[in-house]
Amino acid sequence: MKTYTQNILQVLFICGVIGFFALWQRSSNAWDFIVYTQQWPEAACVDINDTKSSHHHICTMTRNIQTWTIHGIWPSRFDGDGPFYCDNSYPFQESEITNLENIMDNKWPNLIIGTAKTSFWKHEWTKHGTCALNLLDLDCEHKYFKMGLDLNKRFDYKHILEDRNITPSETRYKLADMREAIESFTKSKINMQCIFAKDKSEQAIVQVEVCLDKKFNTIDCKTRYKAIGILPSWDDIPYNPVFESCSENLPTQYLPFRYVN
């Protein structure tokens, strides 16, 4: 039989191995799965404009925006922490995606007035895209953004929700109905984020995260993805939201588009 000391040493050894692996994973660019994130742009605009005192920027909706738009493709770890900003030897180059820009203006737009349309793309590539380079399907800038567009077409939430008679309007919906509509399509658990009325009496859907394995099959999102809230000083994206998970109990708006002209 093992002695008490041997048992303690065995436990310490196992804990040491686990700790070493966790430390190695964080110090490397290793990751386990992908979080593919889309936003409802009207709600994102409301949030930007409601918080503009902290960043001095204004969001507008133009008529080329007709559906859910892409936030990003985020390589992620099961513990929900990164990786981020993985390889500064691959800076964003607009020339790599010129043949995608027309559709990206509609499906992956920067909605903030007075900022370069590429600023959002540059941020997503620098923070997340450079961490995906070790996956063949995402091993260059063009592939990363092209995959984002392909996934936007695959996960067409506007039509998925329309099929359940859930449309942008003044109607208040049950979050459970919206969740069930999307999860019946993805065959997996998703994460949903909302913006909230100041009195917390209702909410509006703003973001949906679907989780994918490295072959882009859907998997369950088990926990809320932990977005980094503090950016390096050189990452000058004007607006960096960290949305809250939706409440399962509040009435939920699916805000109709309000275009500037």
Helix, strand, or coil here: 108?
Answer: coil
Check 42, 123, 128, 209 and give the catalytic one: 128
DSSP string, 158-186: HHHHHTTT--SEEEEEEHHHHHHHHHHHH
Dist CA 69 CA 50 (whole Å)? 20
Where do we find the tokens 């922490």?
A: 81
Enter the DSSP assignment of 246. P
Rounded distance between C-alpha atoms, residue 252 and residue 176, angstroms: 10
71 catalytically annotated = yes
Which entry of 42, 57, 96, 124 is annotated as an active-site residue?
A: 124
Distance of CA 50 to the CA centre of its chain: 20
d(CA 77, CA 83): 7
C-alpha span between 170 and 156 (Å, rounded):
21
What pairs with residue 75 in β-bridges?
34
* Pick from 93, 210, 75, 107: nearest CA to 155: 210
Reduce the DSSP state of residue 122 to 3 states and report it. Answer: helix
**d(C-alpha 82, C-alpha 31), whole Å:** 8
Tokens standing for 1? 């039989």
- Of 207, 257, 239, 231, which is closest to residue 49 (Cα–Cα)? 239
Active-site position among 71, 123, 141, 209: 71
Per the annotation, the verdict on 124 as an active-site residue is yes
- Cβ atoms 117, 94 nearer than 8 A: no
Any idea which residues carry the catalytic annotation?
A: 71, 124, 128
